[in-house]
Chain A
C-alpha cells in the first residue's frame, strides 16, 4: 500500500512538472509519433490487401489449376482435362443441367495510370459463359456485358478509376487484337482491378491454346472433399484443387508477408532512433530533477518508486506519441486506394485499412519504445548516490 502511495506521489510530481519540460518531452512524442505513423500505414497496406483478397473468396467455389502451380499465371489446364473436370461429382448445375463453371485464361495488357501516366500491367481475364452465375457478385454498373465471339471487354470499377483509356467506348490493345470497352462492373474484391472478356474469344485472338484455370461452383461447401478426391485420384489428371479463399490467401501470402516484413523492418530501424530520442529526453528529465530525486531518496522514498515514476512518464509520453502517430496514419491513409506495382500477375488495387487492431499495435510499439527509452534513465534515478547527489547540487 505504502509502495503504491510512494509510486503514485512521485509519478504525480513528475507529471506535474512536465509543462516545465515541454520542449525535451516533445522529442519523445514526435519521434514515436513518426515511427507509429510509418509502421501503421505500411501495415495498413498488407491489411487492406489481405482484406480485399479474402473478400474475393467463397467456400463453395473452387479453383482448379495444374499440379504445382502457385498461381493462375503459371498454370495450364488442357481441354482434355476440362472434360474430366466438367464431369466430376459435386459440381453444381444450373436448371438446364450445365455445370456452373468458368474456364479462364489471362493476358497482361499495358495501360497508363491516370495520375502520372506511368505504364502498368493489368489483367485481362477471359471468363466462361456462365461467369455471372458463378460469380453473382459481378454487377454491371454501366454499359452492357461483352458478347462472345466479339472483341469486347468490361472493366472493373477500380481499373476505371485508376487507368486512362478504359472508359466505355475506348479501345484497348492486346498483342493481336483490339478490344472495345462496353461496360463497367463492380465485384467488391480484387477482380475490380481487372478487365474481363469471353475466354474462347481471347484464346482465339492469339492462338495460345489452353486455359489456365477452372473456377467452379460446388453443390455445397461440404462437397469439396468429394470433388477433390475425384480429381486427384484420377491418374489422367495432374491438378491441384483449392477452395477459393485458400487460393487467394496463398496468392497474397507472399506479398503481404513482404509488406509486413518491410513495415516491421523500417519500423524497427526508426524505433531504434526513437529509443535514443526517448533515452535522451528521459536522461534530461532525470538530470533536471536530480535535486528532487535526491531529496525524495534522502527522505526515504524507495528505488522502486523512482524507477516506476520515470518509466510511467516515458510510457505516458510514448503513448501520446503512439496515439498521435496512429491517428495521423488513420486520417491520411485509411481508405486510400493503392495498387501493387506492375507485378507479373497484374495490378491489384485495394484500400489501405488502418484498423483499430493496427492502431493498437502501433500504440503497443510506442509503449515498448518508451519503456526501453525510459529504463536506463530510471535505473540511473534509482541508483543515484544520494549523499553525493545532494552535495553536487
Chain B
C-alpha cells in the first residue's frame, strides 16, 4: 500500500480577533490509495480544517502536507489552484452547483481547466452523468432537480476530471435519509469499483459506516483510528 496523503506534524492556528487559536496540534496521518476515509469528531475538532489542508484550500502554520508525492504546503496560491484542478474533486454539503448552468454544463466546469477538446469534454460528461444515473437530467438546471439529484451532479463534477482524491465535506448533511443512502452507496461504489480515494468529513455515523476507515478528531488531535473490514 502506498500513502497518497501524508500529514507530518501539521499544526494550524487562526487569528480570532487578537487571539491565536490553534485548531490542529501537530497531526500525523497517512491515507493510502483507494482508501475511503471517514473523518469524524465534534464541532470545532478540526475536521474541516484538516480536509482543507489535504485539499490544498488552506495551508498549515507548520508541518508538511504531501499529496501524491508532492509537498503542497509551500505552494503559492496560483500554483495551488492549478494543483487542485488536477488532483482534487470536491463534494460540498450544499452541492455548490452553478445555478445558471445545466447539469451537464456544471459537470463540464472542471474540464474547462484541461486541454480536452469540446467533443472529448462532452463525451466525458455523458459518461459520468450515466455513472451517477442522471443521463436523462443532463439539460436540467439545478433548481429543477431534487437535493439528491443535485448532489449526484456535484459528484459527477467531482470525478469528471479523474482527480487523485475526492474530498467530501458533509455530503449528506442537506439530504433526507433515503437520498443520503443513495449518495453514500454511490460514493462507496466509486471507491470500490473505480478505486477512488475519498476523504469525507461527516457528523453522521450512518454515513461514516460506508467508509473503509474511520478517524476521530478531538480538540485538534487524532483520537481514534479504525479500519473496517469490507
Contacts and interface: CB of A to CB of B under 8 A. Distances in A.
Nearest to A300: B85
Contacts of B88: 300
Contacts of B52: 387
B57 A390 contact: yes
Contact of B96 (A6, A291, A301): A291
Contacts of A391: 48
Interface residues of B, number: 30
Contacts of A302: 78, 81-82
Interface stretch (B2-10, B107-115, B171-179, B219-227): B107-115
Contacts of B58: 386-387
Q: Which bucket holds chain A's interface residue count?
A: 20 to 34
B81 A295 contact: no
Contacts of A297: 81
Interface string B65-91: 000000000000110011111101010
B113 A6 contact: yes
A80 interface: no
B12 to A, nearest CB: 10
Interface stretch (A9-17, A25-33, A177-185, A359-367): A9-17
B80 to A, nearest CB: 9
Contact of B100 (A16, A291, A393): A16
A386 B85 CA distance: 14
Nearest to B110: A299
Nearest to A389: B57
Contact of A301 (B57, B81, B86): B81
A1 B71 CA distance: 27
Contacts of A387: 52, 57-58
Given A298-B84, A299-B90, A13 B113 contact: no
A393 B100 CA distance: 18
| Interface of chain A, main secondary structure | helix
A2 B112 CA distance: 7
A302 B66 CA distance: 22
B78 A301 contact: no
B210 interface: no
Contacts of A171: none
A299 B98 contact: no
B81 to A, nearest CB: 5
A120 interface: no
A300 B98 contact: no
B36 interface: no
A312 to B, nearest CB: 15
Interface string B53-67: 001011000000000
Contact of B98 (A5, A292, A303, A390): A292
Q: A2, A9, A299, A387: which has the most chain B beta carbons within 10 Å?
A: A299
Contacts of A299: 84-85, 90, 109-110, 113, 157
Given A16-B100, A295-B92, A295-B96, A300 B57 contact: no
A300 B110 contact: yes
A171 to B, nearest CB: 74
Contacts of B96: 291-292, 294-295, 390, 393
A386 B57 contact: yes
B57 A298 contact: yes
Contact of B86 (A9, A295, A300): A300
B48 A300 contact: no
Interface of B: 48, 52, 55, 57-58, 77-78, 81-86, 88, 90, 92, 94, 96, 98-101, 109-110, 112-115, 157, 169
Interface of A: 1-2, 5-6, 9, 13, 16-17, 291-292, 294-303, 386-387, 390-391, 393
5 contacts: A13-B101, A17-B99, A17-B100, A299-B90, A393-B94
